């Protein structure tokens, strides 16, 4: 019987248990995946802890990003065949709906997308979430141009690195932030034009010095909280701040004055919403395929863990030492 990760209570990494469960049969519009690799996401850590805006129903599965081979097909599925090599596009806000943490998982057929042949399953599991999130905010909505300055916070995350690659592909200036100095050189190596170490340097001052007082035209941030105010100070007039996460542990407190004085826009962005629109999703996938082919986009894998070490993989994510994607191999 396939090994499946489940949890029965919110809490630390060790609430994640590996169980052997009978293989499920795909229903209408579903396919079954023989999972080869699982991409970890910060939201899953928050979901496991009970800090996400959707609450787990126990026993809960989790995981919504990964790659594998289709080994069964439900009624009404026509575009996917048994044996297809697919990577799962994260859809929907219920993190437990797919349950990719395991050797076998059912997914809706429309979430199973072929991915570039040049990529391994590990890279396929590090593709859609990061690139579609950064693409959606920077390209589809943000429409960045080569004279823009993009402020990318928490830049050593997989989404942050994806944003650096996309900003550089457009020819914009990419300013990356990281808390500690240890990741500074890595971020420069990954293509950032400038790196601000926020434990040492004042963010707005640094961004203003880099931009000769103009500020960042777009910020791409998963932190929010008290950090939002610093982003507003670092923004250029008419700047747009995309918030795609809620890493800050506490409410977002925000002085309205820079927002009014500089006519700033703050926009919540979630890939789940974005990819539910077939046109947007198709454009995003095409952008990613072309970027992989041209070499502009290259998934950065931080580390891999075997499925049995799923709790260690979560602990590693919570350590914040990673640069790029943490992938669990099956």
Could you say whether residue 82 binds its own copies (CB under 8 A)? no
Could you say whether residue 218 binds its own copies (CB under 8 A)? no
Helix (H) / strand (E) containing 314: helix 310-319
Could you say whether residue 245 binds its own copies (CB under 8 A)? yes
d(CA 210, CA 176): 12
Axis-axis angle for helices 42-49, 310-319 (nearest 10): 100
Considering the complex, state which of residue 89 and residue 275 has its C-beta at the smaller distance from its own copies: 275
> Least Å distance between CB 261 and its own copies?
6
CA gyration radius, the chain: 20
Could you say whether residue 261 binds its own copies (CB under 8 A)? yes
Helix (H) / strand (E) containing 230: helix 227-234
> Least Å distance between CB 216 and its own copies?
16
Considering the complex, state which of residue 240 and residue 288 has its C-beta at the smaller distance from its own copies: 240
Q: Which stretch binds its own copies (CB under 8 A): 55-63, 76-84, 143-151, 245-253?
A: 245-253
59: preceding bond cis by omega (within 30 degrees): yes
Could you say whether residue 260 binds its own copies (CB under 8 A)? yes
The mark string for 152-181 relative to its own copies (x by CB under 8 A, - otherwise) is ------------------------------
- Closest among 155, 169, 187 to 291, alpha carbons compared: 169
Count CA atoms closer than 13 A to 152's CA, side-chain side.
Answer: 34
Q: Record the tokens describing residue 16, joined without a space.
A: 């994640």
Q: Which stretch binds its own copies (CB under 8 A): 4-12, 77-85, 189-197, 260-268?
A: 260-268
Beta strand spans in 131-232 (E): 149-152, 173-178, 194-197, 216-221
Could you say whether residue 224 binds its own copies (CB under 8 A)? yes
Considering the complex, state which of residue 254 and residue 289 has its C-beta at the smaller distance from its own copies: 254
Could you say whether residue 132 binds its own copies (CB under 8 A)? no
Q: Are 65 and 90 in contact (CB under 8 A)?
A: yes
Could you say whether residue 265 binds its own copies (CB under 8 A)? yes
Could you say whether residue 262 binds its own copies (CB under 8 A)? yes
Q: Are 95 and 43 in contact (CB under 8 A)?
A: yes
| One of 263, 290, 295, 306 touching its own copies (CB under 8 A) | 263
Q: Which residues here bind its own copies, judged by CB under 8 A?
A: 53, 93, 224-225, 237-238, 243-246, 251-257, 259-270, 273-274
């Amino acid at each position: 019987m396939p090994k499946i990760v489940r949890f029965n209570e919110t809490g630390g990494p060790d609430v994640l248990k590996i169980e052997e469960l009978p293989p499920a049969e795909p229903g209408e519009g579903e396919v079954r995946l023989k999972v080869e690799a699982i991409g970890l996401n910060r939201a899953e850590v928050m979901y496991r802890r009970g800090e996400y805006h959707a609450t787990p129903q126990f026993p809960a599965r989790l995981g919504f990003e990964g790659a594998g081979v289709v080994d069964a097909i439900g009624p009404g599925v026509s575009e996917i065949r048994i044996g297809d090599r697919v990577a799962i596009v994260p859809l929907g806000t219920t993190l437990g709906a797919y349950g990719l943490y395991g050797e076998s998982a059912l997914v809706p057929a429309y979430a199973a997308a072929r991915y570039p042949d040049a990529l391994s399953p590990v890279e396929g599991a590090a593709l859609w979430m990061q690139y579609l999130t950064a693409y959606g905010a920077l390209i589809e909505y943000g429409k960045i141009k080569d004279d823009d300055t993009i402020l990318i916070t928490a830049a050593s995350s997989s989404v942050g690195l994806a944003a650096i690659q996309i900003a550089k592909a457009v020819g914009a200036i990419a300013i990356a932030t990281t808390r500690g100095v240890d990741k500074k050189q890595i971020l420069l190596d990954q293509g950032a034009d400038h790196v601000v170490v926020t434990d040492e340097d004042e963010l707005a001052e640094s961004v203003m010095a880099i931009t000769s007082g103009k500020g960042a035209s777009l910020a791409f941030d998963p932190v929010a909280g008290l950090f939002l105010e610093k982003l507003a100070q670092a923004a250029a007039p008419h700047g747009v701040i995309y918030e795609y996460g809620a890493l800050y542990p506490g409410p977002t407190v925000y002085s309205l004055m820079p927002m009014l004085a500089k006519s700033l826009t703050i926009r919540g962005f979630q890939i789940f919403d974005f990819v539910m629109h077939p046109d947007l999703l198709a454009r995003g996938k095409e952008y990613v395929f072309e970027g992989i082919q041209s070499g502009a986009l290259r998934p950065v894998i931080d580390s891999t863990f075997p499925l049995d070490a799923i709790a260690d993989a979560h602990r590693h994510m919570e350590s914040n030492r990673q640069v790029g994607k943490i992938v669990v191999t099956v």
